[in-house]
Structure 1
Amino acid sequence: MSLINSGGTDTSNTHEHDEHEHAPDLTERTPLLNDLRAHEAEHQFLTVPVVRAESKALIGLAWPVSLGYIINMCLNLAQIFSVGHIGTTELAASALASMLCNVTGYSVGMGMASALDTLCSQSHTGSKDPHALGKHMQRGIVIMGVFSIPIATLWLFAGELLLLLGQHEDIAKLSGQFARYAIIGLFPYLVNECMKRFLQAQGIMKAGMVVSFIAALINIFLQWLLVWSPIAIGVIGAPIATAITFWTLPIFTWMYIKFVAGGSCWGGWEWREALDMQQIWEFVKLGFPCVLMTCSEWWAFEVIALAAGWLGDKELAAQTIALTTCSLAYVVPLGLSIAASTRIGNSLGANAVRTARAAALAGVILAACIAVISCSTLFAVRNQWGWLWSADPEVVRLVASILPLAAMFQLSDAVGAVAGGVLRGCGRPDFGAYINLVGYYVIGLPLGFMAAFKFGMDLAGLWVGLTVGLISCSAVTIFVIYRMDWAAEAERARVRIAKEHAQFADLPGSLEPTDQLEAESEV
């Protein structure tokens, strides 16, 4: 596959790939390669038109992802809404089980699947094997199956674990039941994460949005059928409905791949490569830092939630409102983060160094704009926002007191999210993992606990710690990106792809990791 240096095509070519026929010497990736290489003839310094073009490309990639995550949040909200109208104990058990499953299962699996953000996006433009993405996805599915075993075992004894952690017996017992039924949907949920990244690497972002919308409608019906209808089975029907819905996710995603877009990168199941231990180990080596990068932030918020509970019920309610608000605000930069990861990975795979730099800069600028909007909005509604969630004046007062801190938190949260996407696109999640671990667990949490419990700042003190920790993470990550050698990162991507081809030398058109790679990287 040649990298054509002609003028760029419309950036919409990177969003949804059509299955049109091309001339024999072209491939369906040619429009994308033209687009990525369009800026390479420019002079060394990035120009405003180049950054503007990359900004438009990122926005086009990001909005379906953000909307898809908003719809996906409705899956959990439907279960909470369904259970919450039964009783307080049931609601508490559902929330506790959800927290346990997120911390011990979904966050770990999603972090490991994030290795595909690097592998698939770079291979899509850099590999001569048209089915390289499908092989990466196969290895991801195998790894998700292995990871599901210890996670499911832990969930099987979730009730006993929660009792050991001091939870009330009735709540712990019901939470354990919720977690056991959640096992049914664990593996298909993680498989769908791999399939989504397989499509996103090709620039096919709308699939997740469409599938999540269909699944959300199915979940609403199942929640009614199993919890509230004349044939309902009671409160336990809620996690069963969610688990069944999770099984529909990979089914509908597969249908999208087969009948809509993305199927050309799937060459069928190949056990030899899917179970190749060397390639699986390479996947895990890249995925483990992604797990630390994802989970370190996720777990820090759960620790803060537990600490808020020690302060009192009203503080916990205010913390829940503030955290849910920040989670909603995070959806937009999260979509932009995935868009940046895809765009930069594609660029490095195509050796389009200047495009990768421009995409990173455009992503950070867009994130800063989003951050300012989120910060201003939260600060403006701080005194009224709590009334949407609670009728307790004290809870509303507490929410109003910490929303300015949550608003400041947004300034670095959005930038940090996109910066993390840049690192994943480059295949450098290890940098993000180290930065997050230090920022949250060396700076943020200790500072927050000291401010809250030693200096009497209570809930505001916990948020001071979180904010300082995240600002530290974002600042260091931006500095790392600023100092990044993009030509070297493109070379790393090419060598990674070449090593994979060298192992399977019988593949037609396989690459060889020769010294020519080093010579080309200097051009």
Structure 2
Amino acid sequence: MCQFSSPSLSCKSKSDPKTKVQESDRLVTALIPKDPTFENPQKTHLSLAISEARCIANIALPMILTGLLLYSRSMISMLFLGRQGELALAGGSLAIGFANITGYSILSGLSMGMEPICGQAFGAKRYKLLGLALQRTILLLFLVSIPIALLWVNMKKILLFCGQDDDISTEAQLYILYSLPDLLAQSILHPLRLYLRSQSITLPLTFCASLSILLHVPINYLLVSVFNLGIKGVALSAVWTNFNLVGSLIIYVIISGVFRKTWGGISSECLKGWRSLLSLAIPSCISVCLEWWWYEIMILLCGLLLNPRATVASMGILIQTTAFIYIFPSSLSFGVSTRVGNELGANNPQKAKLAATIGLSSSFVLGFAALCFAVMVRKIWASMFTQDADIIALTSMVLPIIGLCELGNCPQTTGCGVLRGTARPKMGANINLGCFYLVGMPVAVWLSFYAGFDFKGLWLGLLAAQGSCVVTMLIVLARTDWECQAQRAKELIGNVSDDADHNEEDEKLKDTKNSSSSLDGRIPGIQNLRFQCEVYTHKKLVTWGREAKEFDWSTPMAADSKHDSSLTKTHYLDWVTMTH
């Protein structure tokens, strides 16, 4: 059989036993897959772990810097809002909260549906799928932005219906109307960042973010102070900065040539085959929104406590604090998600498991560091934002609880990254729903309003949610079958690529039938062989036809096999199957 498995073998291999053994050994060796473990037997588990930690750090560290830069942008906007007076600050803050709930959280969550597709496709070297996923996701976010924009236009009516102050609602409406173009910027920015990150390209994103933030201050000064646009200028400055970031990223992609392997041009294929994307995007969106909305509900509950003015203000400071701390575990989760997705796509389940293990171990270190930070700054942190004694006291009391929450939040966030890398966002959504809303919310309400813990009870409810969440997440990850996940990655990439390759394969099939029709008379029984291949699979027919066209029928093997039609059919089908 071996002598028929390569068209380059001659008749000498039949008569010369030594040559036959050498050729057989060569063929068997070629069929053995290359494994880095066999190529580098001297590598220890420690060296592999260190190497993986470096890969994750190369992605996560630039993402941390980018997160800090974007966080500073929001702080700059708040400073310019504060200079416009108390009404502008209240209206702008309300508008930003409304935009986060109804717009930005949805766009961010939906965009994460492309993360496992791009990560696994890049690992499998199916580079063109990245460009196709980018087009589909941008188009999806554009479509979703339309109802979001309609909701924003009617925000004042919604706020008044909920009993908000008329003046504050008017200011909030003004801010959000001038933020409408930001939906367009975010619809491009989120997928573009994921497109680059799935290829482990994160440092250029940091440079582009640095450039946009450097321009953010003068843009604010120009629109707010020079042109006296007030709250409208703050909103337009944020939009302008985001478009600067999008533009700089596009320029980088073009100049660097990153797009060459992954971009097949704008294709009508982006209008088809959305099932795989939506099956990942919708659960990802639900998971993100459930966590984002928790904090907004907490602010609403603060208004029902004994001292609503102080508790709402303190809650605002604490949410800003948690947003600052969240930059670190979220960046780690991005790195872990990328590495897990790449390795599963490359069919390296053990390396994917190692990446998840290294990431989770690092997350516990981050959680302990966050706890130490919260405890150390508890007496001075609030004074950076206000001089009100009640607000400072409430903030100082709750900061250690936040530190304990981060002990669970850091591993939980990283675990969500592992689930995204394995294309299981639905599992993450179920965990968040159960732990935050079926455990954390009842505990928070009971402790705050019935057990006498007041403001502290809300954060103890969050602690219960984070604790149950991390325990559930670790159980799920510990029971993960990584071999099965590698197989699922093949199926995911196959499902996505089937839609992209369908038309191309149809064209190849037409060419194959035309080119192979001339072979029918050259080998007895070849029509029966074509039927066998067609039954075998559609793709094997295309492969068989292409190889039949390229096969050198003048070789001795072909000449000899013409006299035995059954031998030809059997060995030729074996040869096609083994080589593909």
2:192 maps to amino acid: M
Separation in 2, partners of 1:481, 1:360: 9
Q: Does 1:301 align with 2:295?
A: yes
CA RMSD of aligned residues (A): 2.2
Q: 1:280 to 1:104 in 2, by over 3 A?
A: same
Q: 1:393 to 1:512 in 2, by over 3 A?
A: farther
Shift of 1:506: 4.8
Q: Which residue number in structure 2 is paired with residue 275 of structure 1? A: 271
Separation in 2, partners of 1:384, 1:249: 34
Separation in 2, partners of 1:221, 1:315: 34
Separation in 1, partners of 2:39, 2:145: 47
Q: Which residue number in structure 1 is paired with residue 145 of structure 2? A: 148
DSSP 3-state at the match of 1:362: helix
Shift of 1:505: 3.5
Shift of 1:502: 2.8
Superimposed CA distance per residue, residues 207-251 of structure 1 (whole angstroms, 9 cap, x where no aligned partner):
32122212212222221111111x332331111121222222221
Separation in 1, partners of 2:228, 2:299: 33
1:404-419 to 2 correspondence within 5 Å?
Answer: 404-419=400-415
1:245-260 to 2 correspondence within 5 Å?
Answer: 245-260=241-256
Superimposed CA distance per residue, residues 110-161 of structure 1 (whole angstroms, 9 cap, x where no aligned partner):
1010012101010012144x32111110001110111110111101111111
- Who wins on radius of gyration, i.e. which is larger? 2
Separation in 2, partners of 1:193, 1:405: 32
Q: Which residue number in structure 2 is paired with residue 369 of structure 1? A: 365
CA contact (8 A) 2:175 2:231 kept: no
Shift of 1:507: 4.4
1:286 aligned to which of 258, 280, 288? 280
DSSP 3-state at the match of 1:304: helix
2:200 aligned to which of 203, 210, 224? 203
CA contact (8 A) 1:51 1:361 kept: no
Separation in 1, partners of 2:219, 2:425: 38
Q: 1:390 to 1:459 in 2, by over 3 A?
A: same
- In structure 1, the gaps of 5 or more residues are 1-33, 515-523
Q: Which residue number in structure 2 is paired with residue 83 of structure 1? A: 81
2:238 aligned to which of 237, 242, 246? 242
TM-score by length of 2: 0.78
Query: How many residues are aligned here?
Result: 474
Q: Does 1:469 align with 2:465?
A: yes
Separation in 2, partners of 1:275, 1:196: 22
Separation in 2, partners of 1:433, 1:332: 21
Q: Which residue number in structure 1 is paired with residue 53 of structure 2? A: 55
Separation in 1, partners of 2:40, 2:321: 42
Q: 1:61 to 1:87 in 2, by over 3 A?
A: same
Q: Which residue number in structure 1 is paired with residue 547 of structure 2? A: none
Separation in 1, partners of 2:206, 2:123: 24
Superimposed CA distance per residue, residues 327-369 of structure 1 (whole angstroms, 9 cap, x where no aligned partner):
1111011110000000000000000111100000000000000
CA contact (8 A) 2:416 2:428 kept: yes
Shift of 1:183: 0.8
Q: 1:284 to 1:184 in 2, by over 3 A?
A: same
Q: Does 1:180 align with 2:184?
A: no
2:335 maps to amino acid: A
Separation in 1, partners of 2:498, 2:390: 65
Q: Which residue number in structure 2 is paired with residue 31 of structure 1? A: none
Q: 1:513 to 1:426 in 2, by over 3 A?
A: farther
CA contact (8 A) 1:375 1:407 kept: yes
- In structure 2, the gaps of 5 or more residues are 1-33, 510-536, 541-580
Q: Which residue number in structure 2 is paired with residue 100 of structure 1? A: 98
Q: 1:39 to 1:428 in 2, by over 3 A?
A: farther
Superimposed CA distance per residue, residues 4-24 of structure 1 (whole angstroms, 9 cap, x where no aligned partner):
xxxxxxxxxxxxxxxxxxxxx
Shift of 1:265: 3.4
DSSP 3-state at the match of 2:452: coil
Q: Which residue number in structure 2 is paired with residue 331 of structure 1? A: 327
Separation in 2, partners of 1:286, 1:439: 21
Q: Which residue number in structure 1 is paired with residue 187 of structure 2? A: 190
1:391 aligned to which of 380, 387, 394? 387
| Structure 1 stretches of 4+ moved >4 Å | 39-43, 506-514
Superimposed CA distance per residue, residues 259-316 of structure 1 (whole angstroms, 9 cap, x where no aligned partner):
125222342433321111xx22321111000001111111001111221232211111
Q: Which residue number in structure 2 is paired with residue 29 of structure 1? A: none
DSSP 3-state at the match of 1:365: helix
Q: Does 1:357 align with 2:339?
A: no
Shift of 1:51: 2.3
Q: 1:94 to 1:351 in 2, by over 3 A?
A: same
Q: Which sits farther off after the overlay, 98-107 or 245-254?
A: 245-254
2:238 maps to amino acid: T
Q: 1:52 to 1:246 in 2, by over 3 A?
A: same
Q: Which residue number in structure 1 is paired with residue 451 of structure 2? A: 455
CA contact (8 A) 1:159 1:177 kept: no
DSSP 3-state at the match of 1:236: helix
Separation in 2, partners of 1:134, 1:387: 48
DSSP 3-state at the match of 2:178: helix
Separation in 1, partners of 2:392, 2:476: 40
Shift of 1:513: 8.4
Separation in 1, partners of 2:282, 2:212: 29
1:50 maps to amino acid: L
Separation in 1, partners of 2:233, 2:212: 17
DSSP 3-state at the match of 2:300: helix
Q: Which residue number in structure 1 is paired with residue 422 of structure 2? A: 426
Q: Which sits farther off after the overlay, 280-289 or 384-393?
A: 384-393
Q: Which residue number in structure 2 is paired with residue 401 of structure 1? A: 397
Separation in 2, partners of 1:451, 1:512: 62
CA contact (8 A) 1:386 1:400 kept: yes
TM-score by length of 1: 0.87
Q: Which residue number in structure 1 is paired with residue 526 of structure 2? A: none
